[in-house]
Amino acid sequence: MQPRIDEPIVMQPGAEAPAAALPRRSSRVDPWVPLFVVFELLCAVGLLIPDLAQVRMLLRAATFGGSLVLLLLLRGRGKRHPAWVFAMVAMGLVWIQVLNPDTSNFTAGSAQAALYLAVMGPLFWLPRLDVDIRVLRRVAFILWVFHTASAALGVLQVYFPGQLQPQVSSIIAGRRDYLASLMITTSRGVRVFRPMGLTDIPGGAAISGLYAMLFGTGFFLTRRSPWMIGAAALSMVLGTTCLYLSQVRAVLVMTGIAVVAMCAILIWRRDIGRLGWLAGAALAVAVTGYSAAMYLAGPAVARRVGSLTAARPGAVYYNERGHFFYDALVRIAPEHPFGMGLGHWGMMATYFGRPDDAGANNKVWVELQWVGWIVDGGIPLAVCYFLALAVALWAMWKVARARAPAGAPDLPFWGTVVLAHGIGAVALTFSYPIFLSQPGMEFWLLNALLFTVARHEWKRARLAADSPPDVALAAA
């Protein structure tokens, strides 16, 4: 039975339409998504230019401000994302907290609420656009090229100590005791910052390593050109090497979870061909990347990776990050079940907080997203945001498991890549406040883009299947 056009997400069709019967693609699609991705990446690179040091705060704000601008200005009535209801409730809970008497101050609280909205913004504005599989490929290609370049630069920063290195963020540079922990010793005995890549944070290239690995895998398994396959394989190796050198164990584990998730989905789909290539490539890349990292900084890499298995996984997590999660559950949540108000942590507290603000004595150090949710909106916000994430993952799963529509044969596999990234991102909530950052915004962007593209492609395939070829072509 054919799925209805007004269904919330794609379903498996009864049969694929012949390619000759497909309506011709329009030569134009809305360019806003690729432009937005390029804009946010340029803002990130702008932070590295010394001449722009005076406008650093504006550049950081512009990264998220672009999402708010598109939310306000874009028009259209696209199908709502399945996570829309929980997302709206979560945003409502955040904005109510602006009026909480314990909110730091109105400016900091409003800025924090706006950041929440900007990060989740693509879920609301992207479904209004006319996008197809070409846009998904373009966005994946842009992110892949940028993060591969960032990961490669991160590796070179270790190979050439003190060179190709941007200035460290002024906020981190002012904490000299903490700064020393962000350095590693190379195999030649030189102390150097962990790979920064195209960021201003030591170890910041770890996220680029993740993207290079995941999107490199996507292009490795969907392209036939030898040079493209070779470039994707090299990207995967560079990304993995950068991950080991960055020593951000949470992102390294996130990458492992994402790769395992891709393999599991391919097993479920019985895509044995891609599964074999993925398993072989992942093993070869892991060994090659680890060997390269050991050559550059052997003892430091071995100690850091070895610490993951030094004790039981639960004990390792508790000692590193788990005690923050435990404290949030047994102390903060019972004392403040509906939150402590906004503006008590993060960049908004740094930029807009004041020593005499309301609730100043209740400030906490937030290391992971769950603590941030409980501090900002209590148990209701944590539950609603998690439900929005769960529904978003389910929507991606429905795309990844579906049969490929005619005209977009690689859509389910890109759905697999985006789902694997999403699973890793949700896992990272236990180690980092990802959903108040640029990677969190990219989670919602990729999720909403995949959903919108899938609906477009299935609608196009249904139109072709329900119409004679001459009628379908005339409708193009």
pLDDT of residue 11: 36
Write a three-state SS string for the chain.
Answer: CCCCCCCCCCCCCCCCCCHHHCCCCCCCCCCHHHHHHHHHHHHHHHCCCHHHHHHHHHHHHHHHHHHHHHHHHCCCCCCCCCCHHHHHHHHHHHHHHHHCCCCCCHHHHHHHHHHHHHHHCHHHHHHHCCCCHHHHHHHHHHHHHHHHHHHHHHHHHHHCCCCCCCCCCHHHHCCHHHHHHHEEECCCCCEEECCCCCCCCCCCHHHHHHHHHHHHHHHHHHCCCHHHHHHHHHHHHHHHHHHHHHCCHHHHHHHHHHHHHHHHHHHHHCCHHHHHHHHHHHHHHHHHHHHHHHHHHHHHHHHHHHHHHCCCHHHHHHHHHHHHHHHHHHHHHHHCCCCCCCCCCHHHHHHHCCCCCCCHHHCCCCCCHHHHHHHHHHHHHHHHHHHHHHHHHHHHHHHHHCCCCCCCCCHHHHHHHHHHHHHHHHHHCCCCCHHHCHHHHHHHHHHHHHHHHHHHHHHHHHHHHHCCHHHHHHCC
Low-confidence ranges of the chain (pLDDT < 50): 1-20, 360-362, 469-476
CA–CA separation, 328 and 434 (whole Å):
17
Q: Are strands 191-193 and 183-185 parallel, antiparallel or unpaired?
A: antiparallel
CA–CA separation, 41 and 45 (whole Å):
6
CB 259 within 8 A of CB 416: no
pLDDT of residue 36: 95
CB 184 within 8 A of CB 194: yes
How large is the angle between the packed helices 133-159 and 205-222, nearest 10 degrees?
130
The tokens describing 241, both together, are 């090497």
pTM for the whole thing?
0.87
CA–CA separation, 342 and 429 (whole Å):
19
Give 228-259 pLDDT, tens digit per residue: 999 999 999 999 999 999 888 888 888 888 89
pLDDT of residue 23: 56
Residue ranges per structural domain of the chain: 1-130+311-476, 156-310
Residue with token string 């950041």: 115
